[in-house]
Copies of this chain bind each other. A is one copy, B any other.
Amino acid sequence: MQLTKDTNILIIGLGVMGGSYARALSKQGYRIRCITKDASDIAYALDEGMIEAGATEIREDWISEAELIVFALYPLTFISWMEENGHLLKKGTLITDVSGVKSGVISKIQALLPEGVEFISAHPMAGRERSGVAFSDDSVFLGANYIVVPTEKNTEEAILLCEELGRTLGFSRISRLSAKKHDSMIAFLSQLTHCIAVTLMNCNDSKDMEKYTGDSFRDLTRIAKINENMWSELFLLNKDALLAEMDAFAEEFGAFRKLLEDEDVEGMKEKMRASTAKRLKFDKPKGNILP
């Protein structure tokens, strides 16, 4: 199977991510059908020219005609959908997702697949702070990472098509990771940072702090404005990896605290020199386009 303008693509779930997929693909002439729960989201997407057709109910004909189905649902909703409707998928259909956690999702989905249906998991690493199709915006894919997460059950053909989908959406870097490596990377880079931001925001109740706030505090707490339904679900599905990262952070934080308590200035400076050197590698590539 190749991704062409004639490929029958169905998106299930038209939120901010499903909407961004629809925008990116329809702009390039792909014809997209969509199943989602709110009629108003379909009306919006039709009006914006993002989809060719939409439905709020399960359309068995669309599901059986689809060659590629993108599940743009929260992970637990994706799993429930498959439990209820997985049997409707037809042999030869390729399905993919957008879940931000993998180990806890992939094994459950693979167990629910009918004969001849392949699931290739992917994580488009381009989050938005706002949810809903009205905030969909495919420009966020530019400069961002698209990670394909194959297992031993996947065919090379499906993996290549999934990578092609990532390129077509406009992502700048396409890579492959195992589910375990993906989840541990996400636990550190994304989930731990959100735990820290929420904690920092909640750990001091003094009044009037906002009057004196500078950019450092604002930067560290930007993501403390958080979609609690999505993130609590993602944390839970990646519990072990996240707890491990939280413990590593707490231990390092405790070590720094001890240096300060002991007035070990040289020790503190060493930590600061290490963080300065490490952080240089994380600077944003110029022009926001990765090679």
Q: How far is the CA of A64 from the CA of B93 in the complex (A)?
A: 87
Is residue A112 contacting chain B, with contact meaning CB distance below 8 A?
A: no
A185-B212, A198-B256 known; A219 vs B222 contact (CB < 8 Å):
yes
In this complex, the member of A193, A209, A239 whose beta carbon has the largest number of chain B beta carbons within 10 angstroms is A193
Q: Give the interface SS of chain A, mostly helix, strand, loop or mixed.
A: helix
* A203 to B, closest residue via Cβ: B252
A197-B220, A220-B193 known; A272 vs B226 contact (CB < 8 Å):
yes
CB distance from A121 to the nearest CB of B (A): 16
Interface-forming stretch among A1-9, A40-48, A159-167, A242-250? Answer: A242-250
* A233 to B, closest residue via Cβ: B265
Range, interface on chain A: 35 or more
Kindly list chain B residues whose C-beta atoms are within 8 Å of the C-beta of A189. 209, 212-214, 216-217
CB distance from A177 to the nearest CB of B (A): 8
> Mind listing 19 A-B residue pairs with CB under 8 Å?
A144-B214, A145-B212, A195-B257, A197-B216, A197-B220, A198-B271, A199-B249, A201-B274, A201-B278, A203-B245, A210-B281, A219-B223, A220-B220, A220-B223, A231-B268, A243-B261, A246-B260, A250-B250, A250-B257
Q: Name A residues whose Cβ lies closer than 8 Å to a Cβ of B.
A: 125-127, 144-145, 147, 173, 175, 184-185, 188-190, 192-204, 206, 209-214, 216-226, 228-229, 231-233, 235-236, 239, 242-243, 245-254, 256-257, 260-261, 263, 265, 268-269, 271-276, 278-284
